[in-house]
Amino acid sequence: MPSLEETFASIRARRDKLDQLDGELAAVIQQVEEVLRGLKPGVRIEMDYETSNGTRWIIFQKHNGDWRIMWSNTEEEDKHTPLLSASRLERAHVFETGSDGVMPIEALIHEVPLVLDEAIADRDALVERARALSSAILDAGMRPLT
């Protein structure tokens, strides 16, 4: 059996290694967040994923005026937490591969174009209605006041 001094040294070394690994995961989360923020999709992206502790949600949305990757174990929006502020274990879970072989954080990135396509389709229909209204106004002889 090792001495207490050896055990304490072993604990410190393992803690330092875990801190280093968690720091690397946090750096990648920050990188993904910055890339998404830089791409400015302007729409909320949400998806769920399974962990050994149940369903979790990963969300890219505005939080306190800034676009952030959020995490939650509930769909209740007021309970979402910035992923970088979540526990080490929850941050690590977004790098586990699902049954499709994709990590949740990677799947979130792939979800952005799909959500943008939905938003474009919705806006396109609204713009068509707006154009029809504008034409009707102009056909009625009404002009904006100048």
SS3 73: coil
Does residue 63 fall inside a structural domain?
A: yes
Separation of alpha carbons 59 and 139, rounded Å: 45
Cα(103)–Cα(89) distance, integer angstroms: 15
Domain holding 131, by residue range, is: 4-139
Q: How many helices (H) and strands (E) does the chain have?
A: 3, 4
Does some domain include residue 114? yes
- Tens-place pLDDT, residues 79-102: 899 999 999 999 999 999 988 999
> Average per-residue pLDDT in the chain?
94
Residue 58 lies in a domain: yes
Tell me the CA end-to-end span of the chain in Å, nearest whole number: 90
Per the domain annotation, does 43 fall within a domain? yes
In a domain, 15, yes or no: yes
Give the total number of structural domains in the chain: 1
Tokens of 44: 């909320």
Any domain includes 146: no
Res 113: pLDDT: 97
